Amino acid sequence: MIRALTADELTRLAGSLMQPSVLGEAAALLGCLLAAWVLVRLLRGQAPRPDSIWFGAHIADGVLFPVLALMLALIARSALRGVLPLALMHVAVALLIALVAIRVTVRVLRRAFPDSAPMRAVERWVSWLVWIAGVLWILGALPMLLAELDEIQWKVGGTRISVHNLLEGSLTAIVVLVVALWVSSALEARLLAAAGADLSLRKMAAKTLRALLLMLGLVFALSAAGIDLTALSVLGGALGVGIGLGLQKLAANYVSGFVILLERSVRIGDLVQVDDFEGRVTDIGTRYTLIRALNGREAIVPNDTLVTQRVVNNTLADPKVALTTVVQVAYGTDLDTLLPQVVQAVTTVPRVLADPAPSASLSAFAADGLELTIGFWIGDPDQGTGNVRSDVNRALLRLLDGAGVEIPFPQRVLRRAS
């Protein structure tokens, strides 16, 4: 029956699209698309914008273009009703609605999960389902199909469920979750781009906000789908047992991530040392913290480790770091004259701080000469320590060579046995 009605509807639609009045509809539709393009161009401005949900990377690949085109097409259809048969407008409105649904879903999922392969599969499935629903709507078969699906029912406890209800509930759940992801992504982007607050605090607020919105969206979606929320108490108890047994490590890492962001014991940009690995904190996630060493290596450290074990944070209270280097000079060197010159030479190195000032002292009477220890401070340890130590050593070498100070080296005397 559905196949026969669809064939009749297709024949009638094809006949309507062959009428001369379609040219007037096509002109009106083309005007709507052109007006939508101009409006998006004006709202977007001439300056290039980053890829966004509303505008996209270009003018016509965002959500705003099909939304404006749909609104203008609906206005044009209302204005032309009674004047033209409106066969083409019927098809165009259905296709624009499908395009809006696909654009919103795809754009929001790509913003929320930029590198997720499963989300790419979800995008393809959503696109196919929306286009199929649009075609069925155009052919007039969608209401009949839904009526047939409403006849397929079964009883669960005291509730009678049909395939139609499941589809409506699933669609409502998808819409609610997409809207929740959209709102959370927009607020998260604003929080991370805001100035004047610590990046770690902004990141914690963004993650907390996303978790709350997704939780509220999930509860609303389940309620809209007809699921009794009182049954979730059993699921919550089982989930609590699972977390207490099998997921306790994962839960500990998740909670530890919020503790780190809240206490600010480790912040993004700090130079830390964990288990003989030293580097700069580049990201604090919900499960792990990413530490990047100066040589480019990256370590993924579970958040639980940063809370329960010792962590050396070189820049927690003060980013200044003290470094030392050692040099030997020959016995008999005039240290009263040399030590102030050493301090002055180290001060001229660009990254060495003047406050606290460098220091030079006689640290030991070595076997081959007098051992001098030179201490100095730097304020940018994230730029490396070996390079600044090399600059200090080169400045000392130039000073000693210019002053004629000998740098002793071990000497060995070989005696031939008689």
Whole-number Å distance between alpha carbons of 387 and 320: 16
- Residue 184 pLDDT exceeds 50: yes
The neighbouring-strand residues paired with 325 are 374
Whole-number Å distance between alpha carbons of 362 and 336: 11
Query: What percent of the chain is modeled with pLDDT above 90?
Result: 14
* 76-85, 92-101, 138-147, 347-356: segment of lowest average pLDDT: 138-147
- Structure tokens, 88: 């083409």
Asked whether 370 and 333 are in contact (CB, 8 A), the reply is: yes
Burial 339-353 (b: 16+ CB within 10 A, else e): bebbbebbeebebbb
- Residue 288 pLDDT exceeds 70: yes
* 40-49, 67-76, 255-264, 306-315: segment of lowest average pLDDT: 40-49
Whole-number Å distance between alpha carbons of 266 and 316: 7
* 88-97, 109-118, 343-352, 394-403: segment of lowest average pLDDT: 109-118
CA nearest neighbour of 25 among 93, 82, 80, 98: 80
Give the model's confidence band at 48: pLDDT under 50 very low, under 70 low, under 90 confident, else very high.
low
Q: What stretches of 203-320 adopt beta strand conformation (E)?
A: 271-274, 277-284, 288-292, 298-302, 312-313
* Average pLDDT rounded to a whole number, residues 382-397: 88
What is the pLDDT at residue 307?
Answer: 86
* Average pLDDT rounded to a whole number, residues 375-390: 85
What is the three-class DSSP state of 89? helix
- Residue 193 pLDDT exceeds 60: yes
* Average pLDDT rounded to a whole number, residues 125-132: 80
What is the pLDDT at residue 5?
Answer: 45
* Average pLDDT rounded to a whole number, residues 33-43: 86
* Average pLDDT rounded to a whole number, residues 166-189: 73
What is the pLDDT at residue 235?
Answer: 60
- Residue 118 pLDDT exceeds 60: yes
Maximum average pLDDT range among 78-82, 167-171, 172-176, 356-360: 356-360
The neighbouring-strand residues paired with 153 are 162
- CA 396 to centroid of chain Cα atoms: 46
Burial 117-134 (b: 16+ CB within 10 A, else e): eeeeeebeebbebbeebb
Number of residues that make up the chain: 418
103 by Cβ neighbours in 10 Å (0-12 / 13-18 / 19+) ranks as buried
What is the pLDDT at residue 49?
Answer: 59
- Structure tokens, 143: 């209401």
Positive or negative: CA dihedral 212, 213, 218, 224: positive
* 214-228, 267-281, 330-344, 372-386: segment of lowest average pLDDT: 214-228
What is the model's pTM?
A: 0.48
The neighbouring-strand residues paired with 156 are 159
Domain ranges in the chain are 2-151, 321-403
* Average pLDDT rounded to a whole number, residues 347-361: 91
- Structure tokens, 236: 């919550």
CATH no. of 321-403? 3.30.70.100
Asked whether 130 and 102 are in contact (CB, 8 A), the reply is: yes
Whole-number Å distance between alpha carbons of 271 and 356: 20
What is the pLDDT at residue 324?
Answer: 92
- Residue 19 pLDDT exceeds 80: no
User: What's the mean pLDDT when you consider all of the chain?
Assistant: 78
What is the pLDDT at residue 3?
Answer: 47
Residue with the larger pLDDT of the pair 395 and 160: 395
What is the pLDDT at residue 202?
Answer: 65
CA Rg value for the chain: 35
What is the pLDDT at residue 352?
Answer: 92
- Structure tokens, 97: 């609605």
- Residue 262 pLDDT exceeds 80: no
Give the model's confidence band at 85: pLDDT under 50 very low, under 70 low, under 90 confident, else very high.
confident
CA nearest neighbour of 361 among 385, 384, 327, 396: 327
What is the pLDDT at residue 346?
Answer: 93
- Residue 1 pLDDT exceeds 50: no
- Residue 47 pLDDT exceeds 60: no
